[in-house]
Structure 1
């Protein structure tokens, strides 16, 4: 029986990261049903309950070292872990887990990572050193490959794949319908979803989204629903934006599982998102999407879909956003069919991550 330890931003109630973990576990377990997976988590009990795997506390290094010592592979899994824009400290934490694994003589892998931006000079030097010690790197986009090249990571095999969540299959839309019904959202009116997040306490983009929300109701005859990807933070941001809005605008104020969120997105006619995985969920479910960028990962994903962001959060205007909304609205009925070949390719690429991980384990066992 092979054993993998997975490090990442898990147990923090972020739907995108939990979806990545769920996708990784699903694909890895499909390839090796006997695989033993242990996750390093901020909330081990919640991780065990959600995902049915072993879990250890993210700051208990003694326990982490214990499970790594028994493992066949340590994965730094998914997301934008190796960057110092949202936090200047977290990058050192994730590098420390990989460093510990190398000290214990274990194979290591960056699994479908989104690399960068890494701005600090010491962080860049540390990443260059560690990146060249890792056994295998897969990145979820070409931009991350360029970032590694700029950092000077040259010695490690690197493969461009796709975000693990793109390997998830579409779910039943009935799950989301039941949730929407609880909020009084049903009937023939089209439905537009909006996924927001807090960013540097900026107010400009929130004012723009507030104005656009009202115009969507008036001009498209649609209802608007705000979807929380990080609970409860996104709910609080949505409340600031949608204050004094009419009844045709609804804030979903509960925490949802990956399947529930996918199903909710599947009931939309259009998604407008700041959160990356809200956009990825739309892609998986064949729903037209509009992205607003606060980070290169948004632009990179949209580029992989043959699109681009409407604007960044600092420069977005009502006119730009409404123009994009009307464009996507006119083409919404053909979106799923148009995007199907793109999603199929990205799904295959996402599956490759797991295949390469298990190949790395096999090579390690052969050398023993």
Structure 2
């Protein structure tokens, strides 16, 4: 018989995506900060990895009979973290997450959308499903105003909706020593400034890869910096990082291994500046107080940067080496003199991110 769990968490977990694993770690950290003895079960693509990585119970995401058993013995389903409810990268995943929410409601359990990034939802059938099931849930928190506007457009209006922030922003900064030892292992210690780059593959496009290679060379030559590529989703990001590094004239280090959330946070904390395509690379920089430049491939990048008073330096189609280098130069002074306005915005977002857990537990108590 499955264990009694007060909370069941559904999301894109167990797939070696550092951003999603960080969201799960942040959710568990915030919930247990408030209720240390809370019992949590995660619906995962790799239950054994999730058990070992996060220290919680886990069931396989396609084992619906087992999921139903766990839900029967729970008091709340959290559908949480990330861009689960959109049909741009895949419409199958949207229907999957909606099906888990529907199952919980059929079993009489309250459902919360936890710090979701909603949309874009473009298909008419997908919009109808979102409207129907979205209006059945008990509480929604979204990580930005753009997601709130998307819910309004979809006519999801029945549940209480709160605009909070990405759960990862509530995480405690970690010790930089772990990251320092990883960098030393790969020959990246020393006095030279260190610029990290986090990339992802996107539709086999070549333009942004060439731009990043050219900009990487200029940062090495003009700023005397070292450049290191940090893969956030392993091994996918490793491959595209190697492709870009191979286009460079100067040597850039590509970190080859898969890292935990704590290791990635520590690595980012050792950087002087981060250039990111991956959303959670940018969020890790915010958590660790590191200046960042974002390149947009999705509205979620624009939305996050807007919340901290920033703009992207270009999209994957429009970014240029000149615009990227210009932004890097603007941020260069922040290595020693932090941007106080942005730090205040990040602290506000950290408090909002913690509200997600407070609202979840208030729903549990009801």
TM-score (norm 1): 0.97
Kindly provide the CA deviation profile for residues 117-152 of structure 1, in whole angstroms up to 9, marking residues without a partner as x: 111110011101111111000000000000000010
CA distance in 2, matches of 1:249, 1:283: 24
- Aligned partner of 2:352 in structure 1 is 349
Kindly provide the CA deviation profile for residues 215-249 of structure 1, in whole angstroms up to 9, marking residues without a partner as x: 11011100000000000000000111110546641
- Aligned partner of 1:202 in structure 2 is 205
Kindly provide the CA deviation profile for residues 91-119 of structure 1, in whole angstroms up to 9, marking residues without a partner as x: 00010000100111100000000000111
Given that 2:210 and 2:247 are in contact with CA atoms closer than 8 Å, whether structure 1 keeps it comes out as no
- Aligned partner of 2:216 in structure 1 is 213
Kindly provide the CA deviation profile for residues 270-302 of structure 1, in whole angstroms up to 9, marking residues without a partner as x: 000000000000000000000000000000000
CA distance in 2, matches of 1:351, 1:327: 31
User: Does 1:139 find its partner at 2:142?
Assistant: yes
Offset of 1:29 from its aligned partner?
1.0
- Among 113, 116, 120, the alignment partner of 1:117 is 120
CA distance in 1, matches of 2:272, 2:49: 32
- Aligned partner of 1:48 in structure 2 is 51
User: Does 1:6 find its partner at 2:9?
Assistant: yes
Q: Cα gap change, 1:74/1:172 in structure 2, threshold over 3 Å: closer, same or farther? A: same
When structure 1 is superposed on structure 2, of 351-360 and 328-337 the one drifting more is 328-337
- Aligned partner of 1:366 in structure 2 is none
Given that 2:5 and 2:73 are in contact with CA atoms closer than 8 Å, whether structure 1 keeps it comes out as no
Q: How big is the alpha-carbon RMSD for the aligned residues of Structure 1 and Structure 2? A: 1.2
- Aligned partner of 2:98 in structure 1 is 95
User: Does 1:78 find its partner at 2:63?
Assistant: no
Offset of 1:323 from its aligned partner?
1.2
User: Does 1:252 find its partner at 2:248?
Assistant: no
CA distance in 1, matches of 2:336, 2:152: 40
Offset of 1:340 from its aligned partner?
2.5
Secondary structure of the residue aligned to 1:311 is: coil
CA distance in 1, matches of 2:52, 2:170: 22
Offset of 1:158 from its aligned partner?
0.1
- Aligned partner of 2:314 in structure 1 is 311
Kindly provide the CA deviation profile for residues 308-346 of structure 1, in whole angstroms up to 9, marking residues without a partner as x: 111111111112111111111133322264432222111
Secondary structure of the residue aligned to 1:110 is: strand
- Aligned partner of 1:175 in structure 2 is 178
- Among 138, 151, 154, the alignment partner of 1:151 is 154
TM-score (norm 2): 0.97
- Among 33, 36, 46, the alignment partner of 1:30 is 33
CA distance in 2, matches of 1:3, 1:183: 43
Count of aligned pairs = 363
Gaps of 5+ in 2: none
Q: Which runs of 4+ in 1 moved over 6 A?
A: none
Gaps of 5+ in 1: 364-368
